Structure formats: C-alpha cells, structure tokens
Amino acid sequence: MPYYQKLGEMPRKHHIWFSRNGQGPTYKNEGIAYEHVITTEGFNEAYSIMYHLRPPTRVRNVKLLKCEELKKVTDSPLRHHHLKTANIRRKGDLYTGRVPILFNQDVVAYRARPEKAYDKFEYYKNGGADEIIFVFRGGGTLESIFGKQKYRAEDYIVIPRGITYKLVPDKVEEEDYLILESVGPVRIPQRYLNKEGQIKMGSPYSERDLHGPTELNTTDTEGDTEILVKDGPRWTVVTMAHHPFDVVGWDGYVYPFTFNAQDFEPITGTVHQPPPIHQTFEIRGYVVCTFAPRMLDTHPEAVKIPWVHDNVEADEVLFYVRGNFGSRRGIEPASITLHPRGIPHGPHPGTIMASRSATRTEELAVMFDTQHTLELTEQAVALDDDKYPQSWLE
Ligand SMILES: [Fe+2]
C-alpha cells in the first residue's frame, strides 16, 4: 500500500461522534456522518476510514447477473508463446469488455479494448481482487468513493478491492489496457521500505511518484444506484438506495493510486543487472516489473542484453509497450510473451552482436512473473504465433 493520505473533513479521533453541525445535508437529519472502515488482510494491515452522508449499508436489492468460470486450454504442450494482442476487436465496456488471457490461483491477466465507457452499469466494484490497470493507450479521470484523480497513458492504476469506481475516459475509442486482477493485495516491495514504512532512498520510485485522489466528489442524492460487483467468476448487481459517492472525508493507506511507468528510475550497472532491479509491485504469488527506457551497461566488453535463463520456479510474462526490444525479434507493441518454467529462453539469434554498439534502450515493457503455472484461455490461443517456439533457430 502507498502512504498516509487524507482528503476532506473528519473528526479528530477514530470512532467518535462526527457531528456535521448542520453543515450541508445529512441523512434523516441525524446530523452525523457515518464511519466506514476499509481494510486489507483482516484488520491487521493497511486500512482507510471514510465518512459518508448516509450509511453505506443501504442496499435495496441484489441480483445475480452471471457466473463465468475461466476455462483453461488443456491440449497445449509446454512451450513458449507469443500472443499478438494489438488488434483485439473492441468490445463491451470498461468492466465487461475485458478479455481473459492468462490465469492461475493468484492472478488473472486481461486485455481490454472497450467499445464504450459503460453499457448498462456506470459504477463497478471488484469485491474479490485488487486491480492493476496498466494504461497502454488512453487517459481520463478515475472517479471513486475516495474522490477524483486523473490517469494517463503508461500509468499503473491500482484500485484496491471493495472500492466502487468508474473510469471516465477522455476518448473511449483510444482506451486500451492490460489488467491484472490480484487475489492478494498489491504492495510496494518490502525491501524498498525502511523500518518506518517510508520508501528508501535508492529505490526506483518514491512517494512523490504515487498519486492518490486529488478532490472529493461528494454526491448527496437519494435514489437507486446500481453497482456492478464482481467477485471471482460471479457478477452481481447491487442496488443502493442512494448515490455511493457520498463521502465527505477519509484518511488512511488504502485508496486508488496511479504510478506512471515513465517515473520508474532504472538501475543500471557496468554489466547486465538481473530482473529484480525492475520490480515495481509485490503481490502474493507474483511480482510486477517495469522495463523502463535506460542507459545500457557501460563495461567495454559488456553483453548488453539478457543472458539465456531458465525460470525454474516461475512463469514469465512480458507485455511490450513501446520501443525496440533488443533481445527479441518479431515483437510488436501489445505483444505478450509467455516463457514458462522447463524450457530456457534468451536473446534471439543476432541480437547479441546487434546490441554491441548500443548505449541506450528506449524499450518499455511490463513484466509479471508468477510462482504458480499460468493457464492460457481459448481467447489467448487464438492470438498465438505457433512458430514462436522455433524462433531461436538461426
Ligand atoms: Fe526472461
């Protein structure tokens, strides 16, 4: 979780009367705001406390919309995959248009190229997972119960579970995302934090690079509001008796935040540095890394691209954003490669020599490495280049 933030009004201590003294409308003239705690991992880890105009428990109706279990493709051998996802047909809205690509018990990776901002349901909440939305293309405003905040291309938008939100894109026809639905909470890697919980100097980013909501969007409206709530495979329509964005203040460590990949400070050496230097987030069962534009290794005899490696305990996925990826051939923006355990991978033929005179790389890629085996969906197999496993032959 990021760091302590607060916005709006709140009482001077936890769990005391928050009398609004007749300022602004309040629910049934009780004259108070209603406290609401949002936690992670029970009550032991990060939390925020917000204050509502009306009790957030005023549910009028719940209705099961659908249940969609992910299906793995079972007849694929263990092999490397190259999925070309740039031209997936646009479909659905920002919530329902997500195409599942890879999954295991800890994470589901989706590509999303929505056709419209929302179809029937304007408001959405993931009740079962934290979401990391990487904005491949697009930009706009994230509106949530915590307030409003801008997002832009190459942002990671991290939305903890349980937070009702809507995305308001500037131009929906440009929106294009990679989404990682995380069963465990999304955290700043522990080794980047000092004993006080501050991000250490020398880490690839600091608190100033993480951006939370900038203004409240307190909405005081009685009347039914439908929220599309996803938990795992189940989609439920929850009808609230009032508008959910009725928060007048909040503080804590849990809130949606953005981090732009261009703010990732690369760590380089005289020879090639291993992938942990690119780590961005730590999640149960997997890590997210950012391969940002950077100076290449400066030793006069340095091999400036990665060594061949076996990921003996991990499946490795790269989502290529832009630039020329020095160690690969045939890769384009929005390509996804999956290099599983059991088969080594490394530079394509010719790329070692070609990198010899290079001093910089402009590549930008998002990597996620999972502890448990990733399964491919049918939608992923349809995008697969079946010649890729032999692409290391001269
Ligand atoms: Fe690798």
CA of 175 to the centre of ligand 1 (A): 28
User: Structural domain tally of the chain?
Assistant: 2
> What are the pLDDT digits (tens) for 202-219?
999 999 999 999 999 999
CA of 66 to the centre of ligand 1 (A): 38
Tell me which residue of 147, 145, 122, 128 sits closest to 228, measured CA to CA.
Answer: 122
From residue 360, alpha-carbon distances to 115, 220, 307, 330 in Å are: 37, 53, 18, 20
Tell me which residue of 303, 202, 195, 241 sits closest to 53, measured CA to CA.
Answer: 241
In a domain? residue 7: no
In a domain? residue 354: yes
Strands (E), 183-306: 210-211, 222-231, 234-242, 247-252, 257-260, 279-283, 286-291, 294-295
CA of 361 to the centre of ligand 1 (A): 17
If asked whether residues 255 and 287 sit together in one domain, one would say: no
Domain that holds residue 220: 59-73+89-261
pLDDT band at residue 26 using 50, 70 and 90 as cut-offs: low
If asked whether residues 108 and 240 sit together in one domain, one would say: yes
Domain boundary among 235, 261, 287: 261
If asked whether residues 291 and 145 sit together in one domain, one would say: no
If asked whether residues 248 and 284 sit together in one domain, one would say: no
pLDDT band at residue 24 using 50, 70 and 90 as cut-offs: low
If asked whether residues 209 and 278 sit together in one domain, one would say: no
CA of 304 to the centre of ligand 1 (A): 14
CA of 128 to the centre of ligand 1 (A): 30
pLDDT band at residue 76 using 50, 70 and 90 as cut-offs: confident
In a domain? residue 41: no
If asked whether residues 254 and 126 sit together in one domain, one would say: yes
In a domain? residue 2: no
Surrounding residues of ion ligand 1, Cβ less than 5 A: 316
pLDDT for 235 beyond 70 = yes
CA of 15 to the centre of ligand 1 (A): 49
> What are the pLDDT digits (tens) for 264-276?
999 999 999 998 9
If asked whether residues 296 and 158 sit together in one domain, one would say: no
CA of 341 to the centre of ligand 1 (A): 10
If asked whether residues 256 and 284 sit together in one domain, one would say: no
Q: What is the CATH number of the domain that holds 148?
A: 2.60.120.10
CA of 337 to the centre of ligand 1 (A): 10
In a domain? residue 173: yes
CA of 339 to the centre of ligand 1 (A): 7
CA of 74 to the centre of ligand 1 (A): 24
d(CA 65, CA 235): 5
Note whether 211 and 3 are within 8 A (CB): no
